[in-house]
Structure 1
Amino acid sequence: MILVILLQRISIFFLFLIKLSIYIFCTSFIFSTIISAKIISVKLADRFLYSLILFGDFLRGIEIVELFNIVAFAVVGMGFGLATIFLPKYLGRYVSAILLIILVPIIFLTTQMVRYDIWVEQVANNENLSLDGAELLANSFLNQRVGNDGIYGFYLYTAQFPILPDKKVQMNNLDRLEKNVNSKFVSLIGVPPGVVSWAMSLCFWVIRIFYFVVAVVTTVAHFREGLRIVKC
């Protein structure tokens, strides 16, 4: 009798391990697929949309590619919700919820990570530098502009000004470029340059917050739908 009970517990444990392995595989596959799709979408946008002469900088400024988040985070939320079927009822719900809290910001910031890498590559190509040398030049520029380097500095800078200088001479003459852009706005709407800069920065931050809220709401809604389908 004791042997039978022991065998039952062992079989239950191994069944749990099998289901846990399937859960890990499914969630890892969903995460890696969405990250890959985000990388591809950002690179396509940089090549075909942001290079447009008249509207490229505007589209980059409003980060139009983030509209893909609606689809991406719907898939993530639904997928993680459905995957809970492989775990015990309440455990699956809590594990998936914790993973989503961690992974959603990472997926959301993938856009900035890829854009930063693309920018460094463009600097390297234009200045005939190695990637390490180009990154040093780019980070030096970011430090001068926003006091931070790397992806975080890039994130802060692009929230203030959408134009990315990819040549050293452009970086050195950026103040003149910003003044030219601001003067165009001043001539069009008749407000001081400082107000224009502040308004642009505020606008870009509002857009980013909006996209993040959309990502969170979309994920939560589809996660709950996935739970409803599997009755978890």
Structure 2
Amino acid sequence: MPEKNLASEINERGYAVVSAPTNNHDPFAVHAATARTLGLSDAYLPLLYRDKEVRAAVGQVEPYNEIPRNTATVEPWSETPGQSYHVDGLLEPLGGIKTTILHCLVQAHSGGETELLDSCAAFADLQEIDEPSAQALLDEAALTRFATIPGASPQHLQTTGPVFGQVDGEFVTRFSDGPTERWNTGQVRHLDTALQHFRGPGLDTHRVRIRLSPGDMLIFRNDRLSHRGCPYQNGAEPRRLTRSMYSERPRQ
């Protein structure tokens, strides 16, 4: 697919899947090459991994990472639970990380899909039927995201802000709903009703599951789509993905 068409697909639909040969000697070289074709600058190191305590705890020193971080500790045929919906960039402000690239090197024996949720479309649905609840998601106090990394001080590893809003001329999201999120329903009126929408009918028509084969690369707009990894069972060899993130959207 020509690069201009690929960028258009990602920006218009929110994601695209392409074939990208794996490179065991440098698994991130293909990330850098793909980013260049999309007009993206260097991969972005999230604020969380710039923290000295976090870097010491998890060994994250580069803007690229493997999922899981250490395959040597993964037992053959073991099972891994699924994730909750989130956007990459735990401490980033709204729209801070615009693009994420996932590359599949080894797929799971079973499961292991990536589920994408068009959070902005779900918001538009809510706005049509319940404007006060939709407005609650724009409140600066609506959602707190925080890190739970052993050995790191929690006081500076959290940020509070709106769930949706306008950034750089686009409507974007940081909708996340898991163990590292706190919805401040006691401070923001109608926020509890909005959350019920996103935990129920808001999911029905705006999510898609994608199971990558080895060599497949998923590129998506992290500032428009929330995502989660689905449960999976490893095979004799552990499932292995690589990831990079970018502070820009693909250029058409």
Given the two structures, how large is their TM-score scaled by the length of structure 1?
Answer: 0.25
Instruction: Looking at secondary structure, tell me which structure has more helix per residue.
Output: 1
Given the two structures, how large is their TM-score scaled by the length of structure 2?
Answer: 0.24
Higher RCO structure, 1 or 2 (CA under 8 Å, sep 6+):
2
Q: Which has the larger radius of gyration?
A: 1
Instruction: Looking at secondary structure, tell me which structure has more strand per residue.
Output: 2
